[in-house]
Amino acid sequence: MLKHLKVENIRSYQDLEIHFKEGVTVISGVNGSGKSSLLEACFTGLFGSKTLQKDFTIADIVRKGATKASTVLEFEQKGNIYSMEQFFRNDPESGRASNTRSVLKVNGQIFTDQAKRTYDSILSLLRMDEEAFRNCVYIRQGEIDVLINAKSTDRQKMIDDLLQIGKLEDYRERAGNARIGVGRHQRDAERRIKEVKSEAVEIEGRDPVGNLNRLLTEAAQIKEKHVSVSEIRDKTRSGIEERRSKLGEYEQLAIQKQSIGAQILGFNSKNTELFEIIKNSTSSIRSLLLHVNELKQSVSSIKGQMGWNGDVEQMLAHAEEQERGQRDKLNESRQKKALHEQNIENASRTLQQLSDQIKDINQSIESNVKKKDETTIQIEKLESSLKDRQTEKLSLAGEIEALGFTAKKLSGLEDIAELVQTQQKSLHGDKMKLFTRREEILKQIEKSKDLMSKGKCPTCGQELHGSTMHETIQSDEEHLSSLAKDLAAISKKEEDFVLKMEQIKQVKAVSKKIEDCDNHINSFNERIYLLQKIREDHVSRMEEDAKRLNEAISRRQEMEDTIVQLKDKEQLLQEVLVFETKKHAEAIEKLNIAKKAQQNLIESEAKGKDIENLEERIRSDQEKIGLLQQQIKDSKQRLSEIDEKMGGIDAQSLQDNLQKYEIALKNIEVEIKKLEEQRAELMKQIGMTEKEIERLSHLQNQLRSLQHRSDFLGAVYRDAEELESMYIRIRAELRSRNVGALDALINEIFAFMYSNNAYSHVQLDPEYNLTIYGKDGTPLEPKLLSGGERAIFNLVLRCAIYRLLSMAIGGPAKGSSLPPLIMDEPTVFLDRGHVQQLIKLIDLMRDFGVGQIIIVSHDESLIDSADHLFYVEKDPITNTSSITAR
């Protein structure tokens, strides 16, 4: 029984909570308000995404725009409260959604939260999957005639499943599969037995045991033969060894003999060589003695030449000393001369410097004279300009006096101009006043004249007396002429002032010129003063230069005298130097001769030493010759000993014997090899035969066990066959029982529900084909019925199935034993009368144990007969459904 549904963001619901109760619940509301969505939420709440069909996805169930959704459906079964919670996540942008979590709780405790497990648990709890749920519990909108329209095999499967007969078919299938599997194994075993048997027979046909015995005897014989031949081979080998060692000894002696002979040859050639060397040395000594004599004579002749009686060394030392003294003298006179030359050079340089200096001073004097003259010319020019300006100034002062100003009065010129201007302004004001006054009087006169012509006052109409009016005009005219005089006087004054201003302007211009002249005069005076200073400077420099020039000239004279003296002395020094050079050359000559004598002496001593060495060499070579002759004698002695030994060995016959032995050994070895090959071949054959025997016994073992297996599999096969047929039998039995019962129930309920009078009865045959019979006995297939009739039959069929279920469970009374019945718009095709019958049918179903019936409908009479009523509405603006209990 459904207890409670809580929904968040499913289809048109944002959040919804509804408590279901026992009895008949009707859910009503206008089209599109969210009634079906409520039932679908229950369905999806139970089975999750398995309830989606065709092109419906999870994203379609989740409310548009929502990112997550959930359903919690609580139901009761056999006293336990179960709660199925499904959670969904949705990405509105990508349109991807998924069922992220399914939790099943039992009495508030989490039983499992793993999707596959919750689904399996629901299946085993309800004993139906989503398919069976749709066929039995939940009549979806528009699926009212699903059951009767189904193919008979589908119907059969469905009803079998509901009544749990389907299980038997599963078991039968399992037993059948087992039987087929076992059969396959048994056939395999038989085939193996056949193969093993044929192989064993083949091996036995080759008599492997007899073969093995024969091969073993043969092998023993060959082994014996091998031993005896090996002995002969060993003897032959030692014979060969013996002869080879004798021959080796002989060869060794021959080699020794050869090497001694070679040694003796070597000794002899060395001997000859030594004799030759001695000869050469003797002739060298002779020529050396001749040379020594010559050298000694040369030395004594040099001594005579030098007049020296003593030692040669002392003679050399004396010559060296003489040369050194002479050289010192020469150097001294050279230095003196160099110093003197230096002095002359210095003096000439000084002389040159003085000449340069005189030239410079002369130039300086010349340039100063020139500059002085230039300056004088400039001064003269400036003085003449100055005179011009002064005369100009004088004439300008005259001009000013002519204009009536003195040069002293000029400083107040500005004040005077200002005064004149103010007076001019005030005069102008007076003139303007006089003008207005004249205008007024003129107007007055005109007015008076006008009145006079009219004769009376325009305001009061009084007669005018000509005399007063005349008087007035006359006095006004007098006034006018005096005004004209005043005006003429003012104009005269104004003219005077204009003249005066003109004069002042002229004076100003002239005085500006005078100022310019003064400025020029001042600047000329300044420049003349400066130039005079410069000219003085030039003159004083010229005086200085003249003084310096005199000094330099007297010093140059002095220097020229000094140089003449120095040159005289230089001549003298040159003569001394020539003399000393000659004397030094003589000393060097003598020294060289002395050196030559010394060299000759050293050379003759060295030659004496060479002679001694050569004599020593000759003595040692003679000794070596003696030694060599002794060695030659010894070697000859050893040669004769070896000849004696070699005479005792017959090499030729030894060689012949050795050859014979070697040929024999080769033959023996060939024979041994052959024997070994034969033995190896035999061993191989023995091995193969043993393997064959082994294989045979293995095959016999295998055969025994295969036989056992085949027997066992045969027994299992027969058992499975038996089991399979048993399941078929039981199912057929149960089904025929169900079909009978269902047929009876369908007819019973059909009679109860159907109120027209067209059909007599319904028939359900063992293949679950439904046939409807007319009153006249004509059979009709269900698909030929009208829409309404099909709806009625469907309800009848479902009702019958519920009945049968309730009987299977244990009869009526227990309200909670049967699942609820949920119908979406069942009355669509029904006429009024049949809606009434549906109401009765619902009562009937309640009677036999359907505890909860939930119907979506807007049929008035159904609403009236409801135990509980809900009304669903959808806010058209927010597209959100809500539910209210009535």
Ligand X SMILES: Nc1ncnc2c1ncn2[C@@H]1O[C@H](COP(=O)(O)OP(=O)(O)OP(=O)(O)O)[C@@H](O)[C@H]1O
Task: Kindly indicate which of the ranges 26-34, 86-94, 252-260, 347-355 contains the residues binding ligand X, using the contact rule CB under 6 A.
Answer: 26-34
Q: Which does 457 bind (CB under 5 to 8 A by kind): ligand X, Zn ion, none?
A: Zn ion
- Judged by beta carbon, residue 36 or residue 70, the one nearer ligand X is 36
- Judged by beta carbon, residue 451 or residue 628, the one nearer Zn ion is 451
- Going by C-alpha positions, the residue among 162, 109, 100 that lies closest to residue 131 is 162
Task: Kindly indicate which of the ranges 457-465, 642-650, 777-785, 873-881 contains the residues binding Zn ion, using the contact rule CB under 5 A.
Answer: 457-465
23, burial (CB in 10 Å: exposed 0-12, middle 13-18, buried 19+): middle
- Judged by beta carbon, residue 33 or residue 806, the one nearer ligand X is 33
CA 814, CA 229: separation in Å to the nearest integer?
111
The verdict on 769 binding ligand X (CB under 6 A) reads no
- Judged by beta carbon, residue 803 or residue 874, the one nearer ligand X is 874
CA 110, CA 169: separation in Å to the nearest integer?
34
Question: How far, in Å, are 45, 119, 309, 385 from residue 587 at the CA level?
Answer: 146, 143, 19, 95
- Judged by beta carbon, residue 580 or residue 825, the one nearer ligand X is 825
The verdict on 60 binding ligand X (CB under 6 A) reads yes
Cβ-contact 235, 624 below 8 angstroms: no
Q: How far is the CB of 43 from ligand X (least distance, A)?
A: 12
Question: How far, in Å, are 109, 414, 668 from residue 80 at the CA level?
Answer: 11, 133, 105
Q: Which of 180, 407, 432, 457 binds Zn ion (CB under 5 A)?
A: 457
The verdict on 463 binding Zn ion (CB under 5 A) reads no
- Judged by beta carbon, residue 58 or residue 295, the one nearer ligand X is 58
The verdict on 460 binding Zn ion (CB under 5 A) reads yes
The verdict on 465 binding Zn ion (CB under 5 A) reads no
> Can you read off the two tokens belonging to residue 295?
């050298």
* DSSP 8-state assignment for residue 463: B
Q: Is residue 34 marked as binding?
A: yes
Task: Kindly indicate which of the ranges 219-227, 452-460, 601-609, 842-850 contains the residues binding Zn ion, using the contact rule CB under 5 A.
Answer: 452-460
Q: How far is the CB of 23 from ligand X (least distance, A)?
A: 22
Q: Is residue 36 marked as binding?
A: yes
The verdict on 12 binding ligand X (CB under 6 A) reads yes
- Judged by beta carbon, residue 338 or residue 457, the one nearer Zn ion is 457
791, burial (CB in 10 Å: exposed 0-12, middle 13-18, buried 19+): buried
Beta-sheet pairing, 770-774 with 779-780:
antiparallel
The verdict on 35 binding ligand X (CB under 6 A) reads yes
Q: How far is the CB of 458 from Zn ion (least distance, A)?
A: 7
Q: Which does 499 bind (CB under 5 to 8 A by kind): Zn ion, ligand X, none?
A: none
Q: Is residue 785 marked as binding?
A: yes
546 φψ region: left (φ > 0), alpha (ψ -120 to 50), beta (else): alpha
Q: How far is the CB of 857 from ligand X (least distance, A)?
A: 9
E-assigned strand segments in 524-670: none
Residues 826-885 that bind ligand X (CB under 6 A): 879
The verdict on 183 binding ligand X (CB under 6 A) reads no
The verdict on 166 binding ligand X (CB under 6 A) reads no
DSSP for 569-603 reads HHHHHHHHHHHHHHHHHHHHHHHHHHHHHHHHHHH
CA 46, CA 104: separation in Å to the nearest integer?
10
Q: Could you identify the residue written with the tokens 């419906």? A: 56
The verdict on 217 binding Zn ion (CB under 5 A) reads no
- Judged by beta carbon, residue 432 or residue 457, the one nearer Zn ion is 457
Cβ-contact 830, 780 below 8 angstroms: no
E-assigned strand segments in 79-188: 80-91, 96-106, 109-112, 138-139
- Judged by beta carbon, residue 457 or residue 606, the one nearer Zn ion is 457
The verdict on 83 binding ligand X (CB under 6 A) reads no
Return all residues near 759 (Cβ < 8 A) that are at least 6 apart. Answer: 750, 772, 773, 774, 775, 780
Q: Is residue 644 marked as binding?
A: no
Helix/strand/coil for 816: helix
207 φψ region: left (φ > 0), alpha (ψ -120 to 50), beta (else): left
Q: How far is the CB of 803 from ligand X (least distance, A)?
A: 29
Residue numbering of the annotated binding site for ATP: 11, 31-37, 141, 784-789
Residue numbering of the annotated binding site: 11, 31-37, 141, 457, 460, 784-789
In the complex, which residues of this chain contact ligand X (CB under 6 A)? 11-12, 29, 31-37, 60, 62-64, 879
